[in-house]
Structure 1
Amino acid sequence: MKLEFGLKFKLDLRCGICFLIPFLLSFPIFSESIQERFVPPNGYSRVYYPKESFSTYLQNFPLKPKGSPVLLYNGNQKQNQVHVAVLDFPLLKRDLIQCADAVMKLRAEYFYAKREWNQIRFTISNGMDVPFSRFSKGERVLVKGNKTSWIQTKAKKGIGREVFEEYLQFIYSYAGTISLKSELQKKSIQKLEPGDVWMEAGSPGHVVMVVDKAMGKDGQTIFLLAQSYMPSQEMHILKNGSSLSPWFTLPQGATFPTPEWEFPTAAFYEFRK
C-alpha cells in the first residue's frame, strides 16, 4: 500500500498560441477534448473562463478514444467501470498515482505547461513543503522515518521532463488526501468552478475533481466530475444515474453520492490562490 506519510490541448484560438505550445510538445494533437466530447444538454450553456486559467486547462484536457476502458497501472482493466471517458495521460507501472495524486498531477502539469516553475509545490504528509524549484537545483529530500530534510545531491538539475517526473514520483509517494487538504480551502458549492474538488481526507480517503461546468437559463449549475482511485488507475469522467448523465447537478442534501464514494456535501474545496 502506498505510504500515506506518507494534453493535448485542441488547437483552439481561445486558449492562445503561446499558452498551447507546451501542450503540443507533450500531448497528441488530434485527441478530442473534454469540452468537445461533452456538449451540455439542451437548455444549458458551457461556462468559459480566461484562456490561461486552470479551469480552461481542464475543459480542454485530451481524452482517450471513445469506448476506452479504465486501465490499472499493471495494464489490467478496472473491475468497476463507472466512467464515460478516460483522460489521456500516462500512468506509471507502479501503484502510485491514486486519487489525490492524479489531482496533484493535473495541477502540476498545468503550471509546468505555463512554465510557472515556482508555482509547483506540494506539502507531504509530515507537513514539509516540497517545491519543484529545489529539485531543479539538484536538491532532494532525505526521508528517515517520519523525519525529512533537504540535501544537496549530484542528481540531475534543471526544469526538464526527467527532473519533473522524478519530483512528481516523490510527491506521489509521500503525499495523499491528508496532505492535499492543506493545499485547499473550503468553498461554497454555489461558487463551483472547474478545478474545485470534493474531498474526504483519510487513509483511505478520496477526492473527485470538477472538470467542466454549464449553466441553465434559470441559473441551474451542472458539472462533470473526474477521479482516479485505488489501486492506481487512469483518471476518468464519472457517469451517474440521472437523465443528465454524465452531468451532475448540485447536491441538495447533506451528502453527495458519486459512483464509488459518498461525500459530505460541505466537503467542497478549492486550491488556495
Structure 2
Amino acid sequence: MPMLRKIMQLVAAAVLIFALMVGCTSEQSQLNEKTEIAEKPRLEEKDGISSPTNKSEQNYEQSFINSHGKTISERIKVPKGYERVEVPRGSFAEYLRNLPLKPHGTKVRYYNGEEKPNDVYVAVIDIDVGTRDLQQCADAVIRLYSEYLYKNRQYDKIHFNFTNGFRADFKKWMQGYRIKVEGNKAYWVKKTGYSDDYVCFRKYLDMVFAYAGTLSLSQEMKRIPLKNLQIGDVFLKGSDPGHCVIVVDIAQNTKTGEKIFLLAQSYMPAQDIHILKNPANDDGNPWYSINFGDVLITPEWQFTKDQVYRFWE
C-alpha cells in the first residue's frame, strides 16, 4: 500500500506539471496573437471608407504637406531652418510658386484618362493635359512659361523653335496665320482673322508641342551655372530621347545659405504636370539640395550639374 500511494502521488505531480506547461503555452500563444493584432495598422473610418493609418505617412504630411493648401507654396512646407527665397512681384518665379494644385491625393492621369502607375509625385498641378499625346516633358516647360506670358499679355515673347529650326511666333498666329508642315519644311499660311483668345492660344501651343522638343528647347535656352539656380530654371538633356524638369520653388537655409528646390515635370505619354518626390529622402521630403554632387537623381531621369538652362529674357 505505501508503494501504491507513492506511485499515485508521482502520477498526480506529473499531471499537474503537464497542465501548467500546457497553460503557459496557451497563454503565450494568446499573447503573441494579441501582439500581432496590435502591430497591424489601425483602420479609421473616413466618409464611410476604411483606410489604414500609416504612421510614416502621417509624419510625412505633418512635416512637409499641408493637405488643405491650394498652391505649391501653401501645400508644400519648407524643412525646419529654411525659408522661401524672395521673388519679384509679378515675376515668372512668383507665378510658378503659386501654381494651383489639384486636391491632395489626386492621381496623375495620362491624356487618355488612364492613371500613371509610377508613384513619383507629391502633388498634381491643376492645368489641363489636353486630349492628345502632345504635352510631354519639354511641352510642359513650354506650357508653363507660355501661360505666364499669356496671362501678362506679353504676346511678343511667346515664340518657340521647331526641331527643324522654324520659329513659331504666337503674334503671327494671332494675326490668323497658321503653320503648314511638309516633310522637313514649315511655312506660314494665312487662314483666318485676328484672335488673341485662349482657345486660339491653346491651338498654337498644340502646334508647338507637336514639332518642338528637348533638343530644340536646349538650343534656344541659355545654359547657366548651377550656383545661380533660380525658380523657373530647367534641368534639361536635349537629345532623342531627352528629358527636362522645371524648378518651381526655392528655399534657403537661414544659417548656411544652402539652397533647396522643388521640381515639376510631365513625361511620356502626355500626362498631368506634377511635383516630383526626391528619391534620396526616406522621410518623404520632396525638396532637392543644390549640393547634390555631379548627378541630380530624379525618380524617372538623371541630370548632370551642368545641364541647367534658363529662358531668354
Q: TM-score under structure 1 normalisation? A: 0.86
Question: Is 2:196 the partner of 1:159?
Answer: yes
Distance 2:77 2:233 in 1: 20
Q: How does 1:43-122 map to 2 (within 5 A)?
A: 43-122=81-160
2:287 to 247, 261, 268: 247
Q: Does 1:260 align with 2:297?
A: no
TM-superposed deviation, 1:79 = 1.3
SS in 1 for 2:109: coil
Determine the C-alpha separation between the residues in 2 that align with 1:83 and 1:172: 23
> In structure 2, how many angstroms separate the alpha carbons of the residues matched to 1:251 and 1:221?
8
Q: How big is the shift at 1:252? A: 3.7
Residue aligning to 1:39: 77
State the alpha-carbon separation in 1 of the partners of residues 308 and 201 from structure 2. 29
Structure 1 stretch 239-248 or stretch 139-148: which is displaced more? 239-248
Tell me how far apart the structure 1 counterparts of residues 187 and 111 of structure 2 sit (CA, whole Å). 30
1:96 offset after TM fit, Å? Answer: 0.5
1:221 — aligned with what?
Answer: 259
What amino acid is the match of 2:250?
K
Runs of 5+ unmatched residues, structure 2: 1-67
What percentage of aligned pairs have identical amino acids? 43
Match of 2:214 in 1: 177
Question: Distance between the aligned counterparts of 2:120 and 2:303, measured in 1?
Answer: 17
Contact (CA 8 Å) 2:251, 2:259: kept in 1 or not?
A: yes
Q: Deviations over 1:187-242 (max 9, x none)?
A: 11111111001010112210000000000021010110001000000010011132
Between the aligned partners of 1:36 and 1:122, the Cα distance in structure 2 is 32
> Which residue in 2 is equivalent to 1:168?
205
Whether the 8 Å CA contact 2:70–2:102 is kept in 1: the answer is yes
Q: Determine the C-alpha separation between the residues in 2 that align with 1:171 and 1:251.
A: 35
Letter in structure 1 aligned against 2:166: M
1:270 and 2:310 equivalent?
A: yes
Higher relative contact order (CA 8 A, sep 6+): 1
2:204 pairs with 1:130? no
Q: What is the Cα deviation at residue 244 of structure 1? A: 6.8
Which of 237, 242, 245 is the matching residue for 1:208? 245
Is 1:231 matched up with 2:254?
no
The structure having more radius of gyration, on CA atoms, is 2
- Asked if the contact 1:156–1:163 (Cα under 8 Å) also holds between the matched residues in 2, the reply is no
- What SS does the aligned partner of 2:83 have? strand
Aligned residues: 243
1:38, CA displacement in angstroms?
1.2
Which residue identity is paired with 2:309? Y
Equivalent pair of 1:157/1:163 in contact (CA under 8 Å): no
